[in-house]
A and B are shown apart, each in its own frame.
Chain A
Amino acid sequence: MIDFGYSLTSSSRISLDNINQKKLKKITAVEPDFLKCMACGSCAASCSAGNFTKVNLRMVILLLNRGMEKEAIALIEGCMLCGKCTLVCPRGINTRNLIINILKIYKEV
């Protein structure tokens, strides 16, 4: 391989056709409010775990919708299930329930 002095960055384009929709459907079945998220970020801003770790529910919802499961799970594993985000979510999403189910469904082998 030749080093030309510059590099190639692969495209970050996401093809929705290639995403496995099975788990997404499961999660919306158990917690239909998953679809209500407007990505405001209030959950992430108020998250106590997010202060010290990478926990960020807004990002997790976005990544799951893009089919980036591994990256999403890595961001929610540190959740303490304190429920603070449920209190602040302007869409009234039961975020705590959502997180429990995300962890259940996406960590299934």
Chain B
Amino acid sequence: MIFNGKQRIWSEYQKEIPDDHYFYVRSCIRQNFFPASEKTFLDIVQNRLGLDFFETEHHTTCGGIAYHSDSIPQETLMTIVARQFALMTDAGYKNYVASCITSFGIYTETLETWRHYPELETKVRESLWKATKREFNKPEYLAHASDVIYKLRDRIATASVNRLVNKKTGEPLKVVEHIGCHYSKMFPSKGVGGAEYPYVLTGMIEAWGGEIIDYPERRHCCGFGFRQYLVKANRGYSLSNTHKKFESMKPFKPDMIITNCPGCPYFLDRWQYVISEMEGKTYGENSQGIPVFTYEEVAGLVLGYDPWDLGLQIHQTGVEPLLDKMGIIYNKADKYKL
């Protein structure tokens, strides 16, 4: 890789990420796909690092899935978003942090739409008032939760119990990082490192001892693509996208994949099983898959959380090869504990 060129681009796309005092909103699908990730995130920032992250049970979906699958129009979406901002305003916060990349993209798109078309903001304020009698301030700062972990990566590294290093050989683990498309492909200036060279996950991996793999299809979509997956007739298209990525990364022998989106870890994880059943092909060592993680799960492993408390048993592709490489001690029987 042409390192100097990338460093220059990264330095052009830097975000000022506030240190503390966030209004945290969960993802609707991540709570089903990787339920322990958000719990781990909150535990790290609130209990381990003592920061102020507030969440409320009144928060709902951002409407992103319905919007991207053309089930609701943008004005409905913006009114749902306005209600979330009203919850933040009521709670007295100015920094808004979303757990989900789809939501992050939706919030960014909404704020940008209002910036260009203030009359739409006025209309949405009216709709929200009519429907709920709520008013709101726009967030002063919008972050994705991976921005926060990126900001805290060195503090996490200092407190680390495990590193992303092969314990037997002492070599850094080879890591594929996959950024959700809606993180910075739509609004490059809103992501750390921009659209071409997002640095948010790379920064974490480097701080925690791993080595990033730069493979040809690195910036290709995971294949979720909303309707590509949601409509069964299109599902082969979703699968073929993921297949293309795996074919491209395989020669580099990755030890693990880290992602920052709800859909990406799900599809990179589950489609490996489907490809193995359809084609008899696997991409990891010893006919196993390549373990796929969310960034919170990786932060949790680095900080020494029990793998089964991180919910790693929910993954379809077994995570044990990676745990063994990192030298993490775990109880095999506990994998199936409730």
A-B contact count (CB 8 A): 38
Q: State whether A10 touches B278 (Cβ < 8 A).
A: no
Complex Cα distance, B275 from A95, in Å, reads 45
Q: How far is the CA of A2 from the CA of B273 in the complex (A)?
A: 11
B236 engages A8 (CB within 8 Å)? yes
Q: Are B277 and A9 in contact (CB under 8 A)?
A: no
* Residue B279 is within 8 A (CB to CB) of chain A in the complex: yes
- With a CB–CB cut-off of 8 A, which chain B residues contact A8? 236, 239-240, 243, 275, 278-279
CB nearest neighbor in A for B235: A6
Q: How far is the CA of A1 from the CA of B274 in the complex (A)?
A: 10
Q: Are the C-beta atoms of B243 and A2 separated by less than 8 Å?
A: no
Residues of A within 8 A of B170 (CB): none
Asked whether, in the complex, the Cβ of A9 is within 8 Å of the Cβ of B240, the reply is: yes
Please indicate the chain B residues that have their CB under 8 angstroms from the CB of A6 in the complex: 232-233, 235-236, 239
Contacting residue for A2 out of B233, B247, B278, CB 8 A: B278
Chain B, 232-266, contact with A by CB distance < 8 Å: what is the 0/1 string? 11011101100110011000000000000000000
A4–B278 CB distance below 8 A: yes
How would residues 21 to 63 of chain A score, 1 for a CB under 8 Å from any chain B CB and 0 otherwise?
0000000000000000000000000000000000000000000
In the complex, whether B5 has a CB less than 8 A from a CB of chain A is no
Interface residues of A in 54-91 (CB under 8 A from B): none
Residues of A contacting B243 with CB < 8 Å?
Answer: 8, 10-11
> CA A35 – CA B51 in complex, angstroms?
63
Which residue on chain A has the smallest CB distance to residue B275?
A8
With a cutoff of 8 Å between Cβ atoms, the chain A residues found around residue B233 in the complex are 6
Chain A binding surface, main DSSP class: loop
- Report the bound CA distance from A10 to B242 in whole Å: 10
Question: Distance (Å) between the CB of A2 and the closest chain B CB?
Answer: 4
For the complex, give the distance between the alpha carbons of A13 and B245 in Å: 11
Residues of chain A within 8 A (CB-CB) of B279 are 1, 8
Q: List residues of chain B with CB within 8 A of the CB of A5.
A: 232, 235
24 A-B residue pairs with Cβ-Cβ distance under 8 Å, sorted by A, are A1-B278, A1-B279, A1-B280, A2-B277, A2-B278, A4-B277, A5-B232, A5-B235, A6-B232, A6-B235, A6-B236, A6-B239, A7-B239, A7-B278, A8-B236, A8-B240, A8-B275, A8-B278, A9-B236, A9-B240, A10-B240, A11-B243, A11-B247, A13-B244
Interface size of A in residues (CB-CB distance below 8 Å): 11
Q: A6-B233, A9-B237 are in contact. List 4 more A-B contacts (CB 8 A).
A: A1-B278, A9-B236, A11-B240, A13-B244
Binary contact track B142-182/A, C-beta < 8 Å → 1, others 0: 00000000000000000000000000000000000000000
Chain A residues with Cβ below 8 Å from B232 are 5-6
| Complex CA–CA separation, A9 to B277 (angstroms) | 15
Residues in B neighbouring A11, C-beta threshold 8 A: 240, 243-244, 247
Q: A6-B232, A6-B239, A9-B236 are in contact. Are A1 and B244 (CB under 8 A)?
A: no
User: How far is it, in angstroms, between the C-alpha of A90 and the C-alpha of B239 when the chains are bound?
Assistant: 43
Chain A residues within 8 Å of B236, by CB: 6-9
Q: State how many angstroms separate the Cβ of B108 from the closest Cβ of chain A.
A: 31
- Nearest to A3 among chain B residues (CB) is B278
- Complex Cα gap A7–B274 (Å): 10
Per the bound structure, the CA–CA distance linking A7 and B248 in Å amounts to: 19
User: Taking each of B233, B239, B280, which has the highest tally of chain A beta carbons within 10 Å of its own beta carbon?
Assistant: B239
A2 and chain B: residue at smallest CB distance = B277
**Residues of B with C-beta under 8 A to A1:** 277-280
The smallest C-beta distance from A10 to any residue of chain B, in angstroms, reads 7
Residues of A within 8 A of B237 (CB): 9
Residues of A within 8 A of B277 (CB): 1-2, 4
A4 to B280, CA, bound (A): 14
Given the complex of chains A and B, what is the CA–CA distance between A67 and B244 in angstroms? 20
Identify the interface centre among A8, A9, A10, A13: most chain B CB within 10 Å of its CB: A8
Bound: A67/B236 CA distance, A: 27
* Bound Cα distance from A50 to B316, whole angstroms: 52
Q: Which residues of A contact B247 (CB under 8 A)?
A: 11
Give A6 to B278 CA distance when docked, in angstroms: 10
